[in-house]
Copies of this chain bind each other. A is one copy, B any other.
């Protein structure tokens, strides 16, 4: 029996889609290409996929509708897309704040001085035409010229180019333009032979994030960025974090194919947007975490997630772009930044390249703050890494009014320490919808400094209307419904605070585990690099106050920006840096924390503001001793 189909029309964009009767609104949205927030993994818990049913028969399932909505809202037609089945043709309005696509995507990163020497080369060769008394073949003559540029590498000419070679050489009077790519160390492949065109070589640096994709289009000769473009990773429709992505991709060959194609389509769509002929794009460098790299190559990522967390590959020879389905020059090769381990991926290697941590004599630390946090500690003679299961609190999940750094998010907050009235800034125009990570850190720090939040994360009642009893214990009222987009109060509950402290505690415990391995302290660090879109927005003082950052002189804390994109750019522009990246992926020692008891202890100690051991936070200790903060 064929499923009965019903149509769902999404407003405000009037997208119409058909789904089998009984499927959820979320399924319809996925089909329509609308990426709704589902940080809880479609369980109905987080209440971020709110939609308004304008017409049509629906049935709500699960237990969360009553918890999340008021009766009035339910009557109006508000519901959770993931928990609502469509039982007849329906018309559904999708509020802006439920959509992922308004996310702020960071593309900038710190500068890096590199010697431009891309692994792709275009060489104009002038070949001495053959004379008598020489055995040399056309290929020998060409190789002899090319070898002048690659004295220590084997150069190979693919069969298909060989078939065109004799004509090409003679038609162009033995002067041709040859494009070559260093595939692995010591091995170079000719990718194109043509008449001399002297065209600018273009390349793409791509950062494939779990949530977002960012691409730089560059001139390979100068490193100049011609254009930059970003998108939400369409794989988001199958879950917001890598674990749900892995589950989906591992469940069938077909799903793996589907999820790869989504990614390739996203990239191809972004490429379409550039105002250049995509056939002129001859090189690509891609940076992503280990799971994204696996999905990009349609390699089953399931063992990354299962103990003992084994990736299928870490470093790869270059792959033809055409084999991946990328719509650029068919001769182009793709370089994929190598991974260190299942949870320390090519994006972290990229960040290392950008920070040049591995070139410095004095150790530095690097942290990438996301759902999973990755931490690197090292210098020119050794490097350690670990990943910490931080949870998504800082990305707005598991926090009632939390949200990603998208339009409507409160991203910076300071409080009047008496009234607790906030001064804040919002992303985009219009009223705020929620609070993103940097805002949450600010609020925590300010509440602590205002002496209304204990070391253990409990709010102090009394004397201030903004601290009140809520449904689940005490809460801080940041904004009243009248001031917000949704008409609801924006609050921070003790439960939220507890989640945030767990997250920041995991990071800090990670820092300490790495430092202890080498008997170092934060004072020994040359720099503390913070990478990623989220990290980039953090207020240093606030982050130190709550114990997310170590208490070191501010000038030693350096924001890398989108270091994954930056590193991809570096690798695109420098063959030497590609080799450095390969070496990094091999030499970094990864410490697995998931069964590490010492980590668990440190984690417990660190889940306080700023830490149980105040000696680790001298500036905060001073403040407490002075009596500025009483706990």
Contacts and interface: CB of A to CB of B under 8 A. Distances in A.
Interface of A: 130-140, 154, 156, 159, 162-163, 165-167, 170, 184-187, 297-300, 302-303, 307-314, 316-317, 319, 323, 339-342, 344, 588-592, 594-595
A186 B184 contact: no
Given A156-B184, A166-B299, A138 B595 contact: no
Given A187-B154, A297-B162, A313 B131 contact: no
Nearest to A133: B592
Given A166-B303, A186-B154, A590 B319 contact: no
B317 A166 contact: no
Given A130-B308, A163-B297, A186-B154, A590 B135 contact: yes
22 contacts: A130-B310, A132-B307, A133-B592, A134-B310, A135-B314, A135-B588, A136-B310, A136-B314, A138-B310, A154-B186, A156-B184, A159-B323, A162-B316, A163-B297, A163-B299, A163-B300, A165-B299, A165-B313, A166-B302, A166-B303, A170-B303, A186-B187
Closest 4 CB pairs of A and B: A135-B341, A130-B310, A139-B313, A137-B311
Given A135-B344, A162-B312, A166-B312, 18 more contacts: A130-B308, A132-B308, A132-B592, A133-B591, A135-B340, A135-B342, A138-B303, A138-B312, A154-B185, A156-B184, A156-B317, A159-B297, A159-B319, A162-B316, A163-B298, A165-B299, A165-B312, A186-B187
Instruction: Tell me if A's interface is mostly helix, strand, loop or mixed.
Output: loop
A138 B140 CA distance: 39
Contacts of A186: 154, 186-187
A4 to B, nearest CB: 37
Contacts of A166: 299-300, 302-303, 312
Contacts of A140: 313-314
A167 B310 CA distance: 12
Contacts of A133: 591-592
Contacts of A137: 310-314, 339
A156, A313, A316, A344: most-surrounded residue (chain B CB, <10 A): A313
A589 B594 CA distance: 66
Contacts of A165: 299, 312-313
A500 to B, nearest CB: 29
A209 to B, nearest CB: 21
A595 to B, nearest CB: 6
Nearest to A130: B310
Contacts of A162: 297, 299, 312-313, 316
Contact of A139 (B131, B184, B314): B314
A488 B316 CA distance: 72
A166 to B, nearest CB: 5
A159, A310, A590: most-surrounded residue (chain B CB, <10 A): A310
A134 B297 CA distance: 23
A338 to B, nearest CB: 10
A64 B344 CA distance: 83
Contact of A167 (B138, B139, B297, B300): B300
A99 to B, nearest CB: 33
B312 A595 contact: no
A446 to B, nearest CB: 40
A230 to B, nearest CB: 27
B308 A131 contact: yes
A324 to B, nearest CB: 9
Contacts of A297: 159, 162-163
Contacts of A302: 166
Contacts of A185: 154
Contacts of A187: 154, 186-187
Contacts of A130: 308, 310
A307 B314 CA distance: 52
A156, A159, A298: most-surrounded residue (chain B CB, <10 A): A159
Contacts of A154: 184-187
A228 to B, nearest CB: 29
Contacts of A159: 297, 316, 319, 323
Contacts of A298: 163
Contacts of A311: 137-138
Contacts of A135: 314, 340-342, 344, 588-590
A344 B339 CA distance: 49
A137 to B, nearest CB: 4
A340 B131 CA distance: 16
A184 B154 CA distance: 9
A133 B595 CA distance: 10
Contacts of A300: 163, 166-167
Nearest to A135: B341
A308 B467 CA distance: 94
Nearest to A156: B317
A59 to B, nearest CB: 40
A298 B160 CA distance: 9
Nearest to A184: B154
Contacts of A307: 132
Contacts of A184: 154, 156
Given A166-B303, A187-B154, A139 B312 contact: yes
Contacts of A132: 307-309, 592, 594-595
Contacts of A340: 135
